[in-house]
Amino acid sequence: MALMMKGVVLDYSNTLRLIKLVDLSDNNLSGEILAEMTMLTRLLSLNFSKNHLVGKIPSNIDAIKTLECVDLSENNLSGKIPDSMSELNFLSYLNLSYNNLTGQIPTGTQLQSFSASSFLGTKLYGPPLSTSKTLVSASNIVGEQVDNRTQVVWNFVCMEFGFWCGFLCVACPLLFTNS
Protein backbone atom coordinates (compact mmCIF):
# COMPACT_ATOMS: atom_id res chain seq x y z
CA MET A 1 0.00 0.00 0.00
CA ALA A 2 1.42 3.37 -1.01
CA LEU A 3 0.59 6.74 0.48
CA MET A 4 1.48 10.10 -1.01
CA MET A 5 2.35 12.77 1.53
CA LYS A 6 3.69 16.19 0.49
CA GLY A 7 4.55 14.87 -2.97
CA VAL A 8 6.52 11.90 -1.65
CA VAL A 9 5.25 8.36 -2.22
CA LEU A 10 5.67 6.23 0.89
CA ASP A 11 5.39 2.44 0.67
CA TYR A 12 3.78 0.78 3.69
CA SER A 13 3.21 -2.71 2.27
CA ASN A 14 5.71 -4.36 4.66
CA THR A 15 4.74 -2.26 7.68
CA LEU A 16 1.02 -3.04 7.39
CA ARG A 17 1.70 -6.67 8.18
CA LEU A 18 2.89 -5.63 11.65
CA ILE A 19 -0.35 -3.97 12.76
CA LYS A 20 -2.11 -5.98 15.48
CA LEU A 21 -4.82 -3.59 16.68
CA VAL A 22 -7.05 -1.03 14.98
CA ASP A 23 -9.30 0.98 17.29
CA LEU A 24 -11.05 3.84 15.52
CA SER A 25 -14.11 3.78 17.77
CA ASP A 26 -16.14 6.92 18.45
CA ASN A 27 -14.47 9.02 15.73
CA ASN A 28 -17.45 10.16 13.61
CA LEU A 29 -16.08 8.16 10.67
CA SER A 30 -18.41 7.80 7.70
CA GLY A 31 -18.39 5.79 4.51
CA GLU A 32 -17.81 2.09 4.01
CA ILE A 33 -15.36 -0.29 5.62
CA LEU A 34 -12.67 -0.59 2.98
CA ALA A 35 -12.00 -4.05 1.60
CA GLU A 36 -8.31 -3.17 1.92
CA MET A 37 -8.67 -3.57 5.69
CA THR A 38 -8.45 -7.29 5.05
CA MET A 39 -4.83 -6.78 3.95
CA LEU A 40 -3.97 -6.43 7.65
CA THR A 41 -3.46 -10.18 7.84
CA ARG A 42 -2.02 -10.24 11.38
CA LEU A 43 -4.70 -8.07 12.94
CA LEU A 44 -5.99 -9.33 16.30
CA SER A 45 -8.55 -6.64 17.17
CA LEU A 46 -10.77 -4.47 14.97
CA ASN A 47 -12.95 -1.81 16.62
CA PHE A 48 -14.97 0.61 14.48
CA SER A 49 -17.81 1.01 17.00
CA LYS A 50 -19.79 4.24 17.48
CA ASN A 51 -19.19 5.74 14.05
CA HIS A 52 -21.39 6.39 11.02
CA LEU A 53 -20.19 3.58 8.78
CA VAL A 54 -22.51 2.32 6.04
CA GLY A 55 -22.46 -0.54 3.58
CA LYS A 56 -21.65 -4.15 4.21
CA ILE A 57 -19.13 -6.02 6.29
CA PRO A 58 -16.34 -6.94 3.82
CA SER A 59 -17.11 -10.34 2.32
CA ASN A 60 -13.47 -11.40 2.54
CA ILE A 61 -13.08 -10.58 6.24
CA ASP A 62 -11.86 -14.15 6.72
CA ALA A 63 -8.57 -13.06 5.10
CA ILE A 64 -7.69 -11.71 8.56
CA LYS A 65 -7.36 -15.22 9.98
CA THR A 66 -5.93 -14.04 13.32
CA LEU A 67 -8.89 -11.83 14.32
CA GLU A 68 -9.90 -12.40 17.94
CA CYS A 69 -12.04 -9.32 18.59
CA VAL A 70 -14.47 -7.53 16.25
CA ASP A 71 -16.61 -4.61 17.40
CA LEU A 72 -18.64 -2.93 14.65
CA SER A 73 -21.51 -1.90 16.93
CA GLU A 74 -23.48 1.35 16.69
CA ASN A 75 -23.00 2.06 12.99
CA ASN A 76 -25.33 1.90 9.99
CA LEU A 77 -23.97 -1.29 8.45
CA SER A 78 -26.47 -3.20 6.33
CA GLY A 79 -26.86 -6.51 4.58
CA LYS A 80 -26.10 -9.96 5.91
CA ILE A 81 -23.27 -11.22 8.05
CA PRO A 82 -20.89 -12.62 5.43
CA ASP A 83 -20.56 -16.41 5.55
CA SER A 84 -16.79 -15.91 5.49
CA MET A 85 -17.00 -14.46 9.01
CA SER A 86 -17.68 -17.98 10.27
CA GLU A 87 -14.15 -18.90 9.12
CA LEU A 88 -12.62 -16.68 11.83
CA ASN A 89 -11.59 -19.55 14.10
CA PHE A 90 -9.93 -17.40 16.78
CA LEU A 91 -12.83 -14.98 17.19
CA SER A 92 -13.65 -14.73 20.91
CA TYR A 93 -15.47 -11.37 21.04
CA LEU A 94 -18.05 -10.09 18.58
CA ASN A 95 -20.36 -7.08 18.78
CA LEU A 96 -22.53 -6.23 15.78
CA SER A 97 -25.33 -4.61 17.79
CA TYR A 98 -27.25 -1.53 16.68
CA ASN A 99 -26.72 -1.84 12.94
CA ASN A 100 -29.12 -2.41 10.05
CA LEU A 101 -27.96 -5.98 9.55
CA THR A 102 -30.54 -8.47 8.29
CA GLY A 103 -30.84 -12.17 7.60
CA GLN A 104 -29.82 -15.33 9.35
CA ILE A 105 -26.73 -15.63 11.49
CA PRO A 106 -24.53 -18.19 9.65
CA THR A 107 -25.39 -21.64 11.02
CA GLY A 108 -23.07 -24.31 12.32
CA THR A 109 -20.43 -21.79 13.38
CA GLN A 110 -19.01 -20.22 16.51
CA LEU A 111 -20.97 -17.07 15.61
CA GLN A 112 -23.94 -18.82 17.21
CA SER A 113 -22.05 -19.18 20.50
CA PHE A 114 -21.94 -15.42 21.16
CA SER A 115 -24.43 -13.78 23.48
CA ALA A 116 -27.69 -12.41 22.06
CA SER A 117 -26.50 -8.96 23.15
CA SER A 118 -23.90 -9.14 20.35
CA PHE A 119 -26.79 -8.81 17.90
CA LEU A 120 -29.08 -6.43 19.83
CA GLY A 121 -30.88 -3.82 17.71
CA THR A 122 -30.51 -5.69 14.41
CA LYS A 123 -32.91 -7.63 12.21
CA LEU A 124 -30.86 -10.80 12.40
CA TYR A 125 -32.37 -14.15 13.36
CA GLY A 126 -31.29 -17.65 14.21
CA PRO A 127 -29.31 -18.99 17.17
CA PRO A 128 -28.43 -17.47 19.62
CA LEU A 129 -31.54 -15.38 18.89
CA SER A 130 -35.02 -16.73 18.43
CA THR A 131 -35.38 -18.91 15.38
CA SER A 132 -38.05 -16.72 13.83
CA LYS A 133 -37.38 -13.56 11.85
CA THR A 134 -38.06 -11.10 14.65
CA LEU A 135 -36.21 -8.06 15.88
CA VAL A 136 -34.03 -8.74 18.91
CA SER A 137 -35.85 -7.29 21.86
CA ALA A 138 -33.81 -5.00 24.07
CA SER A 139 -36.29 -5.52 26.91
CA ASN A 140 -35.62 -9.28 27.02
CA ILE A 141 -31.86 -8.84 27.27
CA VAL A 142 -32.10 -5.90 29.66
CA GLY A 143 -34.51 -7.93 31.80
CA GLU A 144 -31.97 -10.76 31.99
CA GLN A 145 -29.24 -8.30 32.97
CA VAL A 146 -31.44 -6.71 35.66
CA ASP A 147 -32.25 -10.15 37.10
CA ASN A 148 -28.52 -10.96 37.23
CA ARG A 149 -27.74 -7.64 38.93
CA THR A 150 -30.53 -8.22 41.48
CA GLN A 151 -29.10 -11.63 42.30
CA VAL A 152 -25.61 -10.15 42.75
CA VAL A 153 -26.99 -7.46 45.10
CA TRP A 154 -28.78 -10.08 47.21
CA ASN A 155 -25.61 -12.18 47.34
CA PHE A 156 -23.71 -9.21 48.77
CA VAL A 157 -26.49 -8.40 51.26
CA CYS A 158 -26.52 -12.00 52.52
CA MET A 159 -22.73 -12.09 52.68
CA GLU A 160 -22.64 -8.87 54.71
CA PHE A 161 -25.37 -10.15 57.04
CA GLY A 162 -23.40 -13.37 57.57
CA PHE A 163 -20.23 -11.42 58.31
CA TRP A 164 -21.91 -9.30 61.00
CA CYS A 165 -23.60 -12.33 62.60
CA GLY A 166 -20.26 -14.12 62.81
CA PHE A 167 -18.49 -11.02 64.08
CA LEU A 168 -21.08 -10.42 66.81
CA CYS A 169 -21.01 -14.09 67.88
CA VAL A 170 -17.30 -13.73 68.56
CA ALA A 171 -17.20 -10.10 69.79
CA CYS A 172 -20.18 -10.13 72.21
CA PRO A 173 -18.88 -12.90 74.49
CA LEU A 174 -15.49 -11.19 74.59
CA LEU A 175 -17.03 -7.83 75.51
CA PHE A 176 -19.40 -9.10 78.19
CA THR A 177 -17.26 -11.61 80.03
CA ASN A 178 -15.68 -10.60 83.33
CA SER A 179 -11.94 -10.83 83.47
pLDDT tens digits for range 1-31? 666 778 888 777 777 778 889 999 999 999 9
Give yes or no for a contact between 20 and 42, defined as CB atoms under 8 angstroms apart: yes
As a three-state string, the secondary structure of the chain is CEEEECCEEEECCCHHHHCCEEECCCCCCEEECCHHHHHCCCCCEEECCCCEEEECCCCCHHHCCCCCEEECCCCEEEECCCHHHHHCCCCCEEECCCCEEEEECCCCCHHHHCCHHHHCCCEEECCCCCCCCCCCCHHHHHHHHHHHHHHHHHHHHHHHHHHHHHHHHHHHHHHHCCC
| pLDDT of 109 higher than 90 | no
| pLDDT of 55 higher than 90 | yes
Can you give the residue ranges of every domain in the chain?
Answer: 2-136, 137-179
Is pTM, for the whole model, over 0.75?
no
pLDDT the model gives residue 142: 52
- At 26, which amino acid appears? D
pLDDT the model gives residue 138: 53
> Percent of the chain scored above 70 by pLDDT?
81
| 141 vs 94: which has the higher pLDDT | 94
Give yes or no for a contact between 101 and 126, defined as CB atoms under 8 angstroms apart: no
Picking from 133, 130, 83, 131, the residue whose alpha carbon sits closest to that of residue 111 is 83
- Using pLDDT thresholds of 50, 70 and 90, give the confidence band for residue 36: confident
Instruction: For domain 2-136, give the CATH number.
Output: 3.80.10.10
Mean pLDDT of the 138-147 span: 52
Average pLDDT over the chain reads 82
